[in-house]
Amino acid sequence: MWGVLAFVLNFIPLVGSLVAAIPPLLMAFLFNGLATGLWLLAALLLINLVFSFLWEPVLMSRCLDPSLCTVFLALLVWQSLLGLTGALLAVPLTLAVKLALELTPCGRKLALLISAKS
């Protein structure tokens, strides 16, 4: 049950994994004690940090062709411009900009900066 909740809520950027962690943490603290709750908290933090900040950007950069640096910068820029919606749509919006730049002769050099193959 908690895995399904975490799967669904992880589609919400930034806060989804935090909201998904609250019910199992409350259950662990209330029913199993402080030590088990702290172990679960440490495990959830480690899993979320590894997947959110290391694994997902690496997969996106390999599968979608932008460089890893571009993925991180796109997330920062689009999130600051459009908030949570920008964070969710950061990579698709950046790839759309890259495709638009590739259509013009002057923009091809800029599109190479976004690409991992530059």
Instruction: Tell whether 2 and 36 lie within a shared domain.
Output: yes
Determine, yes or no, domain membership for 24: yes
Instruction: Tell whether 6 and 41 lie within a shared domain.
Output: yes
Determine, yes or no, domain membership for 43: yes
The mean pLDDT of the chain is 83
The pTM for the full model equals: 0.52
- Once rounded to an integer, what is the mean pLDDT over residues 29-49? 92
pLDDT at position 62, please? 66
| DSSP-derived 3-state class of residue 66 | strand
Instruction: Tell whether 48 and 3 lie within a shared domain.
Output: yes
Determine, yes or no, domain membership for 60: no
Going by pLDDT thresholds of 50, 70 and 90, the confidence category of residue 28 is: very high
Domain that holds residue 7: 1-54
Instruction: Tell whether 1 and 50 lie within a shared domain.
Output: yes
pLDDT tens by residue, 48-87? 888 877 777 777 666 667 777 888 888 899 889 988 888 8
Assigned token pair, 92: 């698709």
Separation between Cα atoms, residue 100 and residue 50, nearest integer Å = 33
On whether the CB atoms of residues 67 and 61 are closer than 8 A, the answer is yes
Over pLDDT 90: what percentage of the chain? 22
Which of 1-5, 28-32, 67-71, 77-81 has the largest mean confidence? 28-32
Instruction: Tell whether 1 and 43 lie within a shared domain.
Output: yes
Total tally of structural domains belonging to the chain = 2
pLDDT at position 9, please? 83
> Cα–Cα distances in Å, from 115 out to 53, 75, 91, 109, 112?
20, 16, 12, 10, 5
Determine, yes or no, domain membership for 23: yes
Over pLDDT 70: what percentage of the chain? 92
Instruction: Tell whether 92 and 116 lie within a shared domain.
Output: yes
Helix axes 16-27, 34-50, angle to 10 degrees: 160
Question: Is pLDDT at 118 greater than 60 in this prediction?
Answer: no
Residues in contact with 40: Cβ distance below 8 Å, sequence separation at least 6, in sequence order: 24, 25, 28
Instruction: Tell whether 79 and 110 lie within a shared domain.
Output: yes
- Once rounded to an integer, what is the mean pLDDT over residues 7-24? 82
